Amino acid sequence: MAEILIAPSDQVFVLTGAGISAESGLPTFRAEDGLWAGHRVEDVCTPDAWRRNPAEVWAFYSTRRAAGAKAQPNPAHLALADLEAQLGDRFFLCTQNVDDLHERAGSVRLVHMHGELARSRCERECGRLPVEDRALYKSLDEVGRCACGGRLRPHIVFFGEIPLEMERIQDEIARATLMLVVGTSGSVYPAASFVHWARQHGARAVYIGPEPPLNASAFTQVVEGKAGAVMPGLFEVAS
């Protein structure tokens, strides 16, 4: 039976994290050994790591590109695409994930606040837009250069960098009456604050995942379970 009723007046904001892609075979970040896919975050996902060892950063993201390309959207990605098809512009999706499983499931109104695996951009922030790039680089010599001469880097928000599309995200949260948060531990900011921003203006907020997130007390409802198992049939859209 559907547990979440969406009224004709509802404006829905969805935030997803690594957990929604777990059932597609992509690992989440918080392994028990504190490593991320066998690497220390500071070796592969910081501006300093890029300056010190761009080859290691590219080797890491090439491996992630290969895994992302093999993965397929799961029923949770499809349930969100189906919800968007019913709600149109009353739906907005913000993902922390850099994979493209939401797009491949059919989602359209979405932003990737932490960047996208399948794009690269100039390391010099020269103003040129990110370009589509699915290459798996075996050495730094293979990595292209921007027209300005800068080396291409992954279009990924490294730790310490400012997330993308924040103005649009804030506008969408300001008009949301229902926030759905799926598969994120509630430990990385600013995304972990979104539920508080939504609650401040009276929106209801539902978390979906196998365990309560760190910011669980901010939610009006927690649906416990794996996203791919519980999301199909979870929503009822009233007309």
Measured CA to CA, the distance from residue 190 to residue 187 in angstroms comes to 9
Query: Between 11 and 95, whose beta carbon lies closer to ligand NAD?
Result: 95
Q: Does 226 bind ligand NAD (CB under 6 A)?
A: yes
Candidates 150, 156, 131; CA nearest to 68 is 156
Q: Does 75 bind ligand NAD (CB under 6 A)?
A: no
Question: Residues 12 to 31: which contact ligand NAD by CB under 6 A?
Answer: 17-20, 22-23, 28-30
- Relative to beta strand 178-182, strand 204-209 is parallel
Query: Which is catalytic among the residues 77, 112, 114, 155?
Result: 114
Site for ligand NAD (CB under 6 A): which residue of 111, 135, 136, 188? 188
For Cα atoms 102, 105, 108, give the angle at the middle one, nearest 5 degrees: 60
Q: Does 185 bind ligand NAD (CB under 6 A)?
A: yes
Query: Between 32 and 141, whose beta carbon lies closer to ligand NAD?
Result: 32
Q: Does 154 bind ligand NAD (CB under 6 A)?
A: no
Token pair belonging to 100: 């493209």
Candidates 23, 152, 168, 48; CA nearest to 99 is 23
Max CA distance (Å), the chain? 57
Site for ligand NAD (CB under 6 A): which residue of 209, 219, 234, 235? 209
Site for ligand NAD (CB under 6 A): which residue of 112, 114, 119, 121? 114
Site for ligand NAD (CB under 6 A): which residue of 68, 73, 75, 183? 183
185-208 CB burial, b ≥16 within 10 A, e <16: bbebeebbebbebbeeeebbbbbb
- Report the SS3 class of residue 230: helix
- Is 114 one of the annotated active-site residues of the chain? yes
Catalytic center residues: 114
Site residues for ligand NAD per CB under 6 A = 17-20, 22-23, 28-30, 36, 41, 45, 96, 114, 183-185, 187-188, 209-211, 213, 226-227
